[in-house]
Structure 1
Amino acid sequence: MSLAATPPVAVGLQTFLAFDFGLKRTGVASGNRLTRTATPQATVAAAGDAKFDAIDRRIQEWQPDALVVGVPFHPDGASHDNTARALRFARQLRGRFGLPVFEVDERYSTTEALSLQGFQGPKGRQGRGSPADADAASACIILEQFLRSLP
């Protein structure tokens, strides 16, 4: 399964909140079309309705024009359980908040975020940040990838 190119509906949208969905933690980043950069926000460490309550507070605070969700795939492009979970999360965001939601292939974003944060690997997290920081950094990578794809 591959994600379609950014739809033309993104034209005119200026501000975005991005999410690196996880079962335990969801990384969050904010960014805009003008600078094409993303800023990490506090990671949401909640599940179920509590997760959506925290996201609602972020949406109220940032007033984004649209949302971006990272969708993980295997290196060969094949989908897996977390692919379906992230796509479901994107559908839930659309339904709950009525904002456009863009899906971005996020293969390797967490690995890249861990690398940028100075982590030694999944078991040896002796780097500068915490796992939650890695989730927010992943959301930044996802959002910046999306912003670079815009005309």
Structure 2
Amino acid sequence: MSSTEKTVLSFDFGTTRFGAAIGQTLTGGATELPTFKAIEGIPNWEDIDKIIQEWQPDILLVGIPVHMDGTMSDTGLRARKFKNRLKERYKLDTQSVDERLTSFEAKGIALKKGKSNFKQHSVDSLAAVLIFETWFNQL
């Protein structure tokens, strides 16, 4: 792997579930992974351990939800805490991304595909793809 080619695991933080996507800096693309269940914003760390072992990412990304005026939301504070725990636990390059409107955009994409029941068709991992794309486009 070249020094510029990195595997990136991105997360869309949520209080009841997390979306995840795996991306590559070589291609600039990411693929949805299965969502993870969470309780009050706390994931089952064994699930995260498995995905880290499987994909061996170089970088972890966490979308941080902020209000449209740029102020931090309560969920944003919790997402930042999750990011810090990832960094402590896995000792990997862990970055945050402003994820304003990614869930809204993901729902729009799902609606275009005819998927309107977001409880049945979660958009969280699609939002994680968009988080990766936001980060990649800012490089």
TM-score (norm 2): 0.88
Report the number of matched residues: 134
Match of 1:14 in 2: 6
Q: Select 2:134's aligned residue among 111, 120, 145.
A: 145
In structure 1, runs of 5+ residues without a counterpart are 1-10, 120-125
Distance 1:130 1:49, change over 3 A: closer
Deviations 1:84-122 (A, max 9, x none): 001000000000111110100000000000000007xxx
Match of 2:95 in 1: 102
Paired amino acid for 2:62:
V
Quick one: percent identity of the two aligned structures?
38
What aligned pairs does 1:118-133 form with structure 2 within 5 A after superposition? Answer: 118=111, 127=115, 130-131=118-119, 133=122
TM-score (norm 1): 0.81
Q: Give the superposed CA RMSD.
A: 2.0
What aligned pairs does 1:1-151 form with structure 2 within 5 A after superposition? Answer: 12=4, 14-47=6-39, 51-118=44-111, 127=115, 130-131=118-119, 133-150=122-139
Paired amino acid for 2:122:
D
Structure with greater strand share of residues = 2
Cα distance in 1 between the residues matched to 2:118 and 2:76: 24
In structure 2, runs of 5+ residues without a counterpart are none
- The residue matched to 2:122 in structure 1 has which SS? helix
Paired amino acid for 1:135:
D
Cα distance in 2 between the residues matched to 1:59 and 1:78: 31
